[in-house]
Chains A and B, each alone.
Chain A
Amino acid sequence: MYRLLLCFRYLRTRYIALASIISVTLGVATLIVVNSVMAGFSAEMHERLHGLASDILIECHASGGMPDPEAHVEEIKRIVGDELVGTSVSVHVPSMLGIDFNGQLITRHVNLVGIDAVTYDTVSHFGRYLIHPENQKQVNFELREAGFAESRENFPASGWHYRRARVAYERALAEERARVDAINREAEKISSGQRTNSQLAEGDGLIDDDTTSDEQNAGPSLGNVLPPEFGGGKDAAVAARFDPAKEQYPGIILGISTCSNKLRDEAGNVRDHYYCRPGDDVRMMFPSASENPKVLNQKFTVVDLYESGMSEYDSTFAFVRLDKLQDFRGMINPATGVKSVTTIQLKLVEGADLNAARDALRKRFPPDTYAYSIQTWRDMQGPLLAAVRLETTILNILLFLIIAVAGFGILATFFMIVVEKTRDIGTLKALGASGSGVMSIFLSYGLLLGIVGSGVGLLGGILFVQNINEVAGVIEKITGQEVFDPTVYYFTEIPTILNPFTLAWVMAGAVAIATTASVLPAMRAARMHPVTALRFE
C-alpha cells in the first residue's frame, strides 16, 4: 500500500520528473500524428490504386488482343473458382488526344480504354470518380444536359446546354466571318481595280494585300496545323450530315489532367483551367488492330471527366465504349463476329489470396506460350506501396529513438531522485519495508510517469490529428507557406486514420521505455543498505 501512496505522492511533488517525461509526451504525440497521417495517406492511396486497378489484371500484349474473351472468362472462372465476384473485359490502346483550344491543337499521349459500362464498375471503382452525379451511379456515354460537378467551384458550364450555346456561337462567328470575307472580297475587287488603274502602287502593299486576301493558302497558319476535319466549315459534306447542336460523336470520358491545368491565381488559390469540358469534341488518333496497322482518326464528344486524385491515372486515361472501340479498331472478326479484347480485369471476394489466384492463372497461361501479363494490383503499384511502407517504418524507428532518448533522461532524473530519497529509503527499510517493496515504489513511479506522459501525449496526438487541417491552416497563416499543397497532393484535406492498435502499441512502447529506464535506479534503491541510508546526510 505504501508503495502506491508514495509513488502517487512523488508524482505530485516532483516536478522535475514530470519535466523529464515531456519528451515522452512529445514523442508519443508525434508518433501518433505521424502514424495516423501516414495511415491516412496510404489508405487513401490503397483505396484509389485498388479502386482503379481491379484485383487482378490480365493484359495481352499483342496489338490484336486475345480473341474470344468469353472463353477466357469461362476458363478463369474454372481456375479461380468461387472467389471470383466480377470480371470485365476491355481494350487498352495507346493513342493521341487532340484538343482544339482557341484554334490551337493541344495533343496529349493517353491510354485509350474501351470499357463495358456495366461490368467495368464491378471490378473497379470507376464510376465514383466521374464528376457528373448521375454517371457516378451508372456510367453513360451519352452527353448529359447539365449538372456537372455542381459542388465544384469555378467548374465551367458543360453538357448539352453548353454544347448548343457553343455551336450557336460558332455558327454566328462563321457567318460573321463569311460576311467579313465577302466584304473583303468586294473590297479586294475594288482595290485590285484601283491597282490596275494606278500601276504606281508599291510592291510591299501588294504582297500584304495578297496575304490577307487568302489566308488559307498562305504559308503556315493556325488553320493548317489542325487536321483537315477540324476546321468548322471545311468538311462541308460531314457538316451537312452532322448537326453538333443536336447530335454527338461517340462519348469519351477524359482523365481530368489530360484536359486541364492546375494553376494558382494571384491570390494564391488553386484553380483549374480546362482546355475542354463535357460537350466539347476531341479527336483521338490510335492504331488499328490489323496486321498492317493504320492510324485511325476519330472524333469523340467528351461526356464526362474522371478525377481519381491519382495523377498517374488522371493524366493518362481516356475511356470510351468497348464495342465502339472494337468496331473502330477492327477487332471484330467480320466472318465469325468474334470480338477481341486486350485486357481482362478480375474482382475477387474481400480477403481472397490474390497472389495464389495470380499464380494459378500464370500456370494456366504460361508466359512462354501466351503474351499475357498477369498481375495483381499490388504488383503494379509495388514500388509505390513499398516506399510508403518504408517511410512509415523509418519514421517509427526514429521517433522511438527519440522516446528512448527521453528514457535516458528519465534514468538520470530517477537516479537523482533515488539519491535524494536515500534517507527515506533507509527509513522505510527500518520500518520493515523489503528491498523489493522499495524497488517497486520506483518501478511503479516510472510506470506511472510513463502512463501519465504517454497518456497526455496520446490525448494531445489525438486532438492534433482530429484538428490537423485547422492546425495546418493556422500554420499557413503564421508562416505564409502552404503546409499541404493541393496542387501537389490532389487531396483537399490531410487524410488521417486513428488506428486503435497503433495507439495501443505506441502507448505500450512508451510506457515500457519509461519503466525500463526506472529499473536501474529502482535496483539501486532496493540494494541500499539501511544503515548507510539512514546515516546519509
Chain B
Amino acid sequence: MNPILEARGIRKSYYKNHIELPVLRGVDVAFAQGELTALVGRSGSGKSTLMHLLATLDQPDAGEVWFGGQRIDNLSRRQRDAYRNQQIGIIFQFYHLLPELSALENVLAPAMISRSVLGYFRERKSIIARGEAMLDRVGLLDRKTHKPCEMSGGEMQRVAIARSLMSAPQLLLADEPTGNLDTETGESILQLLRQLNVEDGLTIVMITHDDAIASRADRCYRMQDGLLVDRFRADVKADQQSPRQRVVA
C-alpha cells in the first residue's frame, strides 16, 4: 500500500467546563492512493474530528498527520491554508455553499481564494473555463447562474463536489456526503464520487455512519469511542472485485 495520507497516534480532546472529553485516543490510519476509503462510526465516535485533523482544520493534541510524505499538522497557518486550498477538496454534509454566490462562483471560490485580484483577472478565462468544466462534470452546467437557494440538496452537493475539484486535488475528504440526502439522490452522489475515483484516480476518504454505504468502498475503517476498531472488513471485498468492475455493475 502506498499511503497518500496518514495519521499516526492521533489524540484529541475537547474541554467542556474544564472536563476533558477525549474524542480521539490514539488513531493510526493510512489511506492508500487511488482508493475510496470509508470511515464508519456512530455519531460521537470521533470520525468527524479525525477528518478535521486530516484537513488541518484543527490540530491534534498528540500524534502526526502526514500527506504525500510530508508532515502537515505542524505546518504554519499559511502553509496549511495552501494545503487545504491546493492539495485536497472537502465535501460537507450540509454542502456549505456560499448563499450569496451563484453555482459557478461557488465553484470558482477556491481559485479566487488562492489568487490576488490581479492574478485572478489575468487568468480569468482559463479559471472560468475550468469552473464550467467542473460544473459540466457534475452535470449542472445549465444551472451555473443559479443561487444555492434555487437548487435541491442533491444539486447543491454536486456543486460542492465541483468546487472541491476546482484546484485539481489529489484527495477528497467527504464528511457524510449523502447524510442529508434521500437514498436515490445519495446514490447518485456516491456514483459520482466513485466515477471520479475511477476516472481521475482521485483518492477519496468518505465518512459515513451508514454501513451499506461503507460497504461499497474499496476499504473501510470502523471507529468506536475514538479508536479504530476494525480495519480490514472491506479489504476482502476490495480484493475480490476491482473498483472498475463494480462501477460497471
Contacts and interface: CB of A to CB of B under 8 A. Distances in A.
Interface of A: 1-2, 4-6, 9-10, 13, 423-424, 426-435, 437, 529-531, 534
B127 to A, nearest CB: 10
A434 B76 CA distance: 11
Given A6-B100, A13-B100, A531-B52, A431 B109 contact: yes
Nearest to A533: B57
Nearest to B116: A1
Contacts of B119: 1
B143 interface: no
Given A2-B112, A435-B77, A430 B120 contact: no
Contact of A427 (B52, B98, B116): B98
B101 A5 contact: yes
A1 B117 contact: yes
Interface string B81-102: 1111110001010101111110
A423 B85 CA distance: 17
Given A9-B101, A534-B57, A430 B96 contact: yes
B86 A10 contact: no
B84 A9 contact: no
Interface of B: 52, 55, 57-58, 77-78, 81-86, 90, 92, 94, 96-101, 105, 109-110, 112-117, 119-121, 163
Contact of A9 (B77, B100, B110, B112): B100
Contact of A1 (B92, B100, B115, B163): B115
A148 to B, nearest CB: 68
Contacts of B90: 430-431
Contacts of A529: 58
A1 B118 CA distance: 8
Contacts of B57: 429-430, 530-531, 534
B38 to A, nearest CB: 21
B151 to A, nearest CB: 16
A431 B52 contact: no
Contact of A2 (B58, B78, B99, B113): B113
Contacts of A10: 100
The 9 lowest CB-CB distance pairs between A and B, nearest first, are: A432-B85, A9-B100, A1-B120, A2-B112, A1-B112, A427-B96, A432-B84, A530-B57, A432-B81
A534 B94 CA distance: 9
A5 B109 CA distance: 10
A161 B72 CA distance: 105
Nearest to A529: B58
A531 B94 CA distance: 14
B101 A432 contact: no
Contacts of B82: 432
Contact of A430 (B77, B84, B86): B84
Contacts of B101: 5-6, 9
B139 to A, nearest CB: 22
B194 to A, nearest CB: 23
Contacts of B116: 1
Nearest to A7: B100
Contact of A432 (B99, B114, B120): B114
B120 A431 contact: no
B167 to A, nearest CB: 8
B109 A424 contact: no
Contacts of A530: 52, 57-58
Nearest to A430: B90
Nearest to A435: B77
A432 B110 CA distance: 7
B96 A534 contact: yes
Contact of B85 (A5, A427, A431): A431
Contact of B92 (A5, A433, A534): A534
A426 to B, nearest CB: 7
B24 to A, nearest CB: 13
B110 to A, nearest CB: 5
B114 A434 contact: no
B96 A437 contact: no
A426 B96 contact: yes
Given A1-B113, A13-B100, A432-B86, 9 more contacts: A1-B115, A5-B105, A6-B100, A427-B98, A430-B57, A431-B113, A529-B58, A530-B57, A531-B52
Contacts of B100: 6, 9-10, 13
B58 A531 contact: yes
A357 B105 CA distance: 70
Which of B86, B96, B99, B101 is the most central at the interface, judged by chain A CB atoms within 10 Å of its CB?
A: B96
A430 B48 CA distance: 14
Contacts of A1: 112-113, 115-117, 119-121
A35 B85 CA distance: 51
Nearest to A434: B81
A12 to B, nearest CB: 8
A2 B120 CA distance: 10
Contacts of B109: 2, 428, 431
